[in-house]
Structure 1
Amino acid sequence: MRVVNSLVERCFAVIELLANEASSMRLGEIAEKLDLQKSAAHRMLNVLCDIGWVEQEPVTGFYKLTLRLAILGQRFVSATHLTDVCQPVLEELAAESAELVRMAVVQGETLTWIAQVQGARNGLKYQPEMAARVRLATTANGRAYLSTLGQTDAIRIAISDSVDERQRRSMASVEDFIEELKLTRKRGWAISDEEAETGIVAIAAPIKLADGQTVGTVSVAGPSSRLTADRQGDVASSVLSTAAKLGELWPLRQRYNKESDLHAHKIGHSAHSTNSGI
């Protein structure tokens, strides 16, 4: 349960809740999960509906996000040029592994999916649920990220991220989890063998900059019938190589942004000069 106070915080809490659930919710459920009075939650939702962030289903009366948040998110990712720089490397890994490749970025103390490439050409194709946030305790990407943190922070974040009882049950004991993180840290990659999803194996590695900062994770995931134990070592090697490449390419997006800003400045200056000469 999360306690929210200020008006702005309440609005963002409603948006975050609806984004995490990715489905319509009834008023009472929203109020309960955010520890708000129904009347206060109703006022927040009315405001968000008026400005186009939330919509109410006419039949059920349930609330859900509009596409405005997704559109703004896509605009922001596009403006960072992150996918422009990283996409070819992800496509290369997808072609090599013939499985689903995904990349997530660090946002605060969690991970957010921002790119994926389907490499499976035939047979079973792993198509995960479209959720923005990465579950940290049970997924390979989450464990890869947590392995780069101190033990105390890693455990705290993992437990906090396991928001419901089902997820807490699926998380290993704290002792086993600590050992798993130690092993992940030693070999440089993490694995989730049907722990996040039945029948699915995923292998992930953290993306690090030259100064050691962890900025994201990259993974290969597919059916356990293909990502068998005798294949996991080769896939892990490819994932590690890709993570290293992404770490080297990551700073290039800053150059893209500077070049874009310079280009925009030149266009604006040229237009101003032209108008001045009329």
Structure 2
Amino acid sequence: MGNNTTLPVQATQTSFEVIEALRQADGAGVRELAAHLSVPKSTVHDHLRTLTEMGYVVQIDGAYRPSLRFLEIGGETRKRMAIHRVAKPEIQELAIETGDHANLMVEEDGYGIFLSKSEGQRTVNLDTYAGMRVHLHTTALGKSMLAFMDEDRRSSILDRRGLPAVTEYTIDDEETLRAEFEEIRERGYAVDDEERVKGMRCVAAPVIGTDGTVLAAVSVSSPKSRMRGDRFEVEVPSEVQSTVNVIEVNIVHE
């Protein structure tokens, strides 16, 4: 009885491992997936057939890929989130005002998820997109949320997800990171100086609910050449915090 009850869980895990492998490989065939996952080709074939029939995987030019069904699911989930509905127009306005990338991030399962982004007239090409998942400590957005979180939640995330370095400037030492959290709480916003993307700087502030819970974070990202001096230390932080204030007021009445 005990063994039978574990089989559905194992099957589900394998299906998602197949989907994740397809995502990372940007499409693959049965043989490639079987080798990558170290499972029989027949097992991979069965999972792909089921996922294809359910519409979660498609086959194009002989290679299997995750379908846009995931975009549908994620888009519907995001649409139902009050923080997205309230923040979206403010993020768009912030991008127009600054001319740069404006972003909204939430924390989920110990990661930072880019929930929304908007581009101003002077933006550069970045790898970010709605739904992208990153380690919180690598971004100003994530650091601002971590700094204002409950200590138990913060410690749980740091222990569980670790502090992997993305660039040579990523803070991968917990003592140094915690010292920065104190600075963030004192000034009310966080900065990211090439810590996830070389050549880019970012300023972010958390969106705090009336009960003190961290709901999200808002940021502006810009090339380091344009984000310096008073713009980095005064102007952009002021614009970001002003946007956060509007979102915090509006979310109460959502």
TM-score for both structures, normalised by structure 2: 0.79
Given that residues 126 and 222 in structure 1 are in contact (C-alpha distance below 8 angstroms), is that contact kept between their aligned partners in structure 2? no
By how many angstroms is 1:220 displaced?
0.3
What's 1:116 paired with?
A: 117
SS at structure 2 position matched to 1:250? helix
Alignment partners' CA distance in 2, 1:101 and 1:178 = 26
Alignment partners' CA distance in 2, 1:190 and 1:14 = 37
Alignment partners' CA distance in 2, 1:16 and 1:243 = 34
What's 2:100 paired with?
A: 99
By how many angstroms is 1:191 displaced?
1.1
Counterpart mapping for 1:9-158 below 5 A? 9-12=13-16, 14-15=18-19, 21=24, 23-24=26-27, 26-28=32-34, 31=37, 40-59=43-62, 61=63, 63-80=64-81, 82-119=83-120, 121-122=121-122, 125-130=124-129, 132-151=132-151, 153-158=153-158
CA RMSD across the alignment:
3.1
Given that residues 166 and 195 in structure 2 are in contact (C-alpha distance below 8 angstroms), is that contact kept between their aligned partners in structure 1? no
Alignment partners' CA distance in 2, 1:22 and 1:249 = 41
Residues 15, 188 of structure 1: CA spacing in aligned structure 2 closer, same or farther, 3 A cutoff?
farther
Alignment partners' CA distance in 1, 2:49 and 2:150 = 42
What's 1:231 paired with?
A: 231
Q: Which amino acid aligns with 1:8?
A: T
Q: Which amino acid aligns with 2:207?
A: I
Alignment partners' CA distance in 2, 1:118 and 1:11 = 36
* Alignment deviations for residues 147-195 of structure 1 (CA, whole Å, 9 cap, x no partner): 12345643552464469x6649744222212212222222221111011
Residues 198, 88 of structure 1: CA spacing in aligned structure 2 closer, same or farther, 3 A cutoff?
same
Residues 22, 91 of structure 1: CA spacing in aligned structure 2 closer, same or farther, 3 A cutoff?
farther
By how many angstroms is 1:41 displaced?
4.6
Q: Which amino acid aligns with 1:139?
A: T
Alignment partners' CA distance in 1, 2:20 and 2:98 = 34
Given that residues 56 and 64 in structure 1 are in contact (C-alpha distance below 8 angstroms), is that contact kept between their aligned partners in structure 2? yes
Greater C-alpha Rg: 1
What's 2:3 paired with?
A: none
Residues 140, 17 of structure 1: CA spacing in aligned structure 2 closer, same or farther, 3 A cutoff?
farther
Alignment partners' CA distance in 2, 1:23 and 1:76 = 24
By how many angstroms is 1:223 displaced?
0.5
Gaps of 5+ in 1: 254-278
* Alignment deviations for residues 91-150 of structure 1 (CA, whole Å, 9 cap, x no partner): 23222222110112233433322211212x24x524333352133121111111211234
Residues 48, 197 of structure 1: CA spacing in aligned structure 2 closer, same or farther, 3 A cutoff?
same
Residues 5, 154 of structure 1: CA spacing in aligned structure 2 closer, same or farther, 3 A cutoff?
same
Residues 95, 66 of structure 1: CA spacing in aligned structure 2 closer, same or farther, 3 A cutoff?
same
Residues 37, 189 of structure 1: CA spacing in aligned structure 2 closer, same or farther, 3 A cutoff?
farther
Percent identity, aligned pairs only, is 27
By how many angstroms is 1:85 displaced?
2.8
Q: Which amino acid aligns with 1:227?
A: M
TM-score for both structures, normalised by structure 1: 0.73
Q: Which segment drifts farther, 225-234 or 4-13?
A: 4-13
What's 2:245 paired with?
A: 244
